[in-house]
Structure 1
Amino acid sequence: MKKIAFLILAFFVFALNSCKDDAEVYEGQPYLHFNKGTRGEAVVTQGTGSTTVNIDFGTVSALEGSAQVKLVVDTSVSNAVEGVDFQIVNQNTTVNAGQIEGKFQVKLLEAGATVAPKVIVFKLQSSSIPNATFDQTYILQYTKACPFNITPFSGTYKVVSDTWQDYEPGDLITVQQGPAPNQFKILADNNIYISNSATAYMLVTVANDGTITVQSNEAFNYGAPTGSLNVSGSGKVNFCTGSIDITTINYGSNAGYKFSLVKN
């Protein structure tokens, strides 16, 4: 009896496992969708002319025969223009029998790239493969970046914001290059609140990735009751536009202020 009971139990275990394996095999329609994520980011570097990115798609099961798939742009929500800002290299592609995936290539043109993000929204079309109910939109966001270049950081700048309130938005400030090749000075010659405005300045040191450190060459003398305060800080510059954004600027023990400038 024990032997018979064991055989019956073994039969049921085998039957359950067989049912489980059968349930995992999908034999329905090879629905079309973006199969490796629905969002992407890219950078077009100045001087390269363009950057090409891949956009992957797939079907939930292998095709029985070859089929054409088309990548289309949703112009109602995209702010980049096809043919001007980007090109779809292979707008129509073939998925062969037995395959379950493919890819499109999109060329992002430097001429149309901007520092502010541009967005392209893609969808999939096919006359022979139905679309899935999921992952039907791919959003590509891209920006323009420029390599290290200290040249833009000189001349007259306009104040965007100064939470320490030495300056008002719209005030003009002089920026000079040097003394090191990766440094520039933000002069204080029109800062009416300090007595040493003719000699004091913020020395900004720029790293290859655009991050900056700030240190005053001497304490800014605000007179009584504030006294003299050393200035320090950190932030980021934009090599494309020449903008300066000191996201954390400290005056002595007074910490956490912001100071932003754009070329005039």
Structure 2
Amino acid sequence: MKKIFSLLFGFLLIFLSLSSCKDEELFYEGDSYVHFLKEEGEAFVFADQDYRDVEVEFGTVQTVSGNPDIKIVYDPVNSTAVEGVDFQILNGGSGVVADGQAIGKFTIRILKAPATQAGKVANFKIKSSVFGNNLDYQSYSLRMSLTCSDAVFIGNGKFKNNVAYWTGDTTAVYDVVKSTPVDGNEQLRVDGFWDNGDDLVVYYNPNTFVVTIPDQFTGYTYNSGGINAPVWARPATDGTVSSYNPCTRRLTLRIYYYLKGTSYFLANDTEEFTGQ
């Protein structure tokens, strides 16, 4: 009985010891080092802006006080963006870290005039006369591109269906409206496009310019050769993707038209709408 009690007591001590260690906070007491928080990022300047200021974050491992010397430095090697032409480094390249914090920010100003939709890349390094640089994330690549706001893309809301598989009418002009986001997805509606008067609905990503097409009824029922089935639309199945260009105001949709409930389909084809 005593042996059992001793064993139980021993296990209790081990459990209490582990619990105590688990509750203790861990502290880093070594030197501070500077580093970027990630290796790359992407930012846009809008066509209706002269410039856009973006922040690049860095860390110091330990919290700091005062105003330590930490700078971001342009690295022209493998850069396609040029400092002073495509962008500016603000504050003389100095980072800003609030007292008692271990995260700071540099500010880069992307200039609109030379920006392109294809994008350019600027590479940077981080340096400090106070802290060492022997951690990872010592370099950072920022892709900077020109884009246009939703307001520019929508414009007057009139879009010509210049590539028109479904209706065959390349002169038709439709109202395209931005709708309330659904589940975090931005939504566009081509007013009254389908045969039953319903809107053609698509979702778009303003960062990647990719468009997705939810499964939807075209309003038309195919009735021929003994087949009677509604025609539905969904994303193309041939590997092509839908997209939009907010600056040229062009919406290109790759759609798979199929007979719901059967193994038959009509086509993988294109609907293109261009702002007027």
User: What is the TM-score with the length of structure 1 in the denominator?
Assistant: 0.59
2:267 matches 1:255: yes
Do 1:54 and 1:106's aligned partners in 2 also have CA atoms closer than 8 Å?
Answer: yes
When residues 82 and 258 of structure 1 are mapped into structure 2, their CA distance, relative to the original with a 3 A threshold, is: same
What amino acid sits opposite 1:129 in the alignment? F
Q: Which has the higher strand share?
A: 2
Q: How many pairs align?
A: 212
Q: 1:59 is paired with a residue of what secondary structure?
A: strand
When residues 20 and 110 of structure 1 are mapped into structure 2, their CA distance, relative to the original with a 3 A threshold, is: same
Do 1:150 and 1:182's aligned partners in 2 also have CA atoms closer than 8 Å?
Answer: no
Q: Which residue of 2 aligns with 1:78?
A: 79
Deviation at 1:29, TM superposition (A): 1.5
Q: Which residue of 1 aligns with 2:214?
A: none
Give the stretch that moved more between structures: 143-152 or 116-125.
Answer: 143-152
2:104 matches 1:102: yes
Deviations, residues 82-109 of structure 1 (Å, cap 9, x unaligned): 1111111120246587542321111111
Distance 1:65 1:183 in 2: 56
Do 2:161 and 2:272's aligned partners in 1 also have CA atoms closer than 8 Å?
Answer: no
Do 1:204 and 1:212's aligned partners in 2 also have CA atoms closer than 8 Å?
Answer: no
Alignment of 1:173-212 (within 5 A): 181-186=157-162, 200-201=169-170, 203=172, 205=174, 206-208=176-178
What amino acid sits opposite 1:257 in the alignment? D
What amino acid sits opposite 1:186 in the alignment? N
When residues 240 and 210 of structure 1 are mapped into structure 2, their CA distance, relative to the original with a 3 A threshold, is: farther
2:150 matches 1:143: no
Deviation at 1:130, TM superposition (A): 0.8
Q: Which residue of 1 aligns with 2:133?
A: 131
Deviations, residues 167-212 of structure 1 (Å, cap 9, x unaligned): xxxxxxxxxxxxx952214278xxxxxxxx9xx4263643447957
Q: Which residue of 1 aligns with 2:207?
A: none
Larger Rg, first or second structure (1 or 2)? 1
Q: 2:113 is paired with a residue of what secondary structure?
A: helix
Deviation at 1:131, TM superposition (A): 1.1
Query: For structure 1, which runs of at least 5 residues remain unmatched after alignment?
Result: 153-179, 189-196, 218-229
Q: Which residue of 2 aligns with 1:171?
A: none
Distance 2:246 2:65 in 1: 52
Deviation at 1:8, TM superposition (A): 11
Deviation at 1:26, TM superposition (A): 1.6
What amino acid sits opposite 2:94 in the alignment? N
Root-mean-square deviation over aligned CA pairs: 4.7
Q: 2:172 is paired with a residue of what secondary structure?
A: strand
Do 1:250 and 1:256's aligned partners in 2 also have CA atoms closer than 8 Å?
Answer: yes
Deviation at 1:216, TM superposition (A): 9.2
Q: 2:63 is paired with a residue of what secondary structure?
A: coil
Distance 1:144 1:19 in 2: 50
User: What is the TM-score with the length of structure 2 in the denominator?
Assistant: 0.57
Do 2:98 and 2:104's aligned partners in 1 also have CA atoms closer than 8 Å?
Answer: no
Do 1:121 and 1:140's aligned partners in 2 also have CA atoms closer than 8 Å?
Answer: yes
Query: For structure 2, which runs of at least 5 residues remain unmatched after alignment?
Result: 179-185, 196-230, 236-241, 260-264
Distance 1:105 1:132 in 2: 23
Distance 2:133 2:173 in 1: 54
Q: Which residue of 2 aligns with 1:193?
A: none
Given candidates 121, 124, 133, the residue that maps to 1:122 is: 124
When residues 149 and 131 of structure 1 are mapped into structure 2, their CA distance, relative to the original with a 3 A threshold, is: closer
When residues 210 and 73 of structure 1 are mapped into structure 2, their CA distance, relative to the original with a 3 A threshold, is: farther
Deviations, residues 1-59 of structure 1 (Å, cap 9, x unaligned): 979x959964995599469948x322111111123x44333221112211111111111
